[in-house]
């Protein structure tokens, strides 16, 4: 499958700080998805993006679909301890769009 | 809400054993997936199934097989477990872009 490069691999921040992470691909994607995995659980969809340039928010989370369609960004404002987890970007890698490829994940740790 | 249930949270198996990981979904989804999660590598697709008895290889199918005899159940089989198959295994089912994941099975092969 296509490779998604996600950075940073991990972040250790103070509660209240803003967080930014991004995902890049060598290929064009028509959909970008952001998932969060809480410790001991499976990933859960946070935000789905369907159009280049699109900016979508979900509470304190904001994600953007890059203009080039080869990247996406996720920002978390005013982090809290329950933001701890692994964040994954994902996109469909076959024409039917029914198979997802995932980035390597960003592990977020929040210090109270 | 769609529920995807993986039968075991933790498994410890010996090298060479045949291992079955079971996954059940309750929403009549056609598409089901098995991923493997390793630190820094994200989730890698092992196999997926788009209907009963139908399957397609993902990125890393070697050493694995799958079975889908009923729509709600998708099984991952390790024919002869090896230590490099120690990992977290995640099952998912899908409709639209809405992948729903199970809680995962952490498999250790000793």
pLDDT of B64-80, one tens digit each?
999 999 999 999 999 99
- The pLDDT of residue A33 is above 80: yes
- On chain B, the residues whose CB falls within 8 A of the CB of A41 are 103-104
For A82, the 3-state DSSP assignment is helix
pLDDT of residue B1: 66
B42:A31 CB<8 A: no
Q: Which residues of chain B have pLDDT under 70?
A: 1-2, 97
Q: Please give the DSSP secondary-structure letter assigned to residue A83.
A: G
Comparing CA positions, the residue from B19, B52, B16, B53 lying closest to residue B36 is B19
| B 46-85 residues with CB < 8 A to A | 48, 50, 58-59
Count of Cβ atoms closer than 10 Å to residue B99 Cβ: 25
Count of Cβ atoms closer than 10 Å to residue A58 Cβ: 12
Which is more confident, A91 or A98?
Answer: A91
pLDDT of residue B67: 97
What is d(CA A100, CA A84) in angstroms, rounded to the nearest whole number?
A: 24
Query: What tokens does A99 get?
Result: 């198979």
What is d(CA A4, CA A8) in angstroms, rounded to the nearest whole number?
A: 13
- The pLDDT of residue A96 is above 80: no
pLDDT of A56-82, one tens digit each?
999 999 999 999 999 999 999 999 999
pLDDT of residue A93: 74
- Contact of B36 with chain A, judged by CB distance below 8 Å, is answered with no
B103:A1 CB<8 A: no
């Amino acid at each position: 499958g296509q490779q998604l490069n996600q950075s940073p691999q991990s972040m250790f921040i103070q509660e209240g700080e803003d967080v930014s992470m991004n995902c890049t691909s060598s290929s064009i994607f028509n959909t970008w998805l952001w998932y969060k995995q809480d410790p001991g659980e499976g990933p859960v969809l946070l935000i789905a993006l369907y159009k280049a340039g699109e900016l979508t928010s979900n509470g304190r989370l904001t994600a953007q679909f890059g203009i080039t369609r080869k990247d996406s960004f996720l920002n978390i404002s005013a982090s809290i301890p329950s933001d701890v987890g692994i964040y994954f970007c994902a996109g469909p890698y076959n024409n039917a769009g029914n198979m997802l490829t995932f980035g390597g994940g960003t592990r977020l740790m929040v210090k109270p | 809400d769609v529920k995807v249930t993986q039968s075991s949270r933790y498994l410890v198996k010996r090298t060479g054993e045949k291992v079955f990981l079971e996954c059940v979904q309750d929403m009549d989804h056609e598409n089901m997936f098995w991923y493997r999660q390793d630190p820094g590598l994200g989730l890698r697709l092992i196999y997926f199934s788009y209907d009963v008895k139908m399957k397609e290889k993902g990125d890393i199918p070697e050493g694995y097989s799958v079975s889908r005899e009923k729509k709600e159940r998708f099984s991952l089989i390790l024919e002869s477990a090896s230590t490099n198959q120690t990992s977290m295994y995640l099952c998912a089912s899908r409709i639209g872009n809405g992948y729903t994941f199970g809680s995962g099975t952490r498999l250790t092969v000793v």
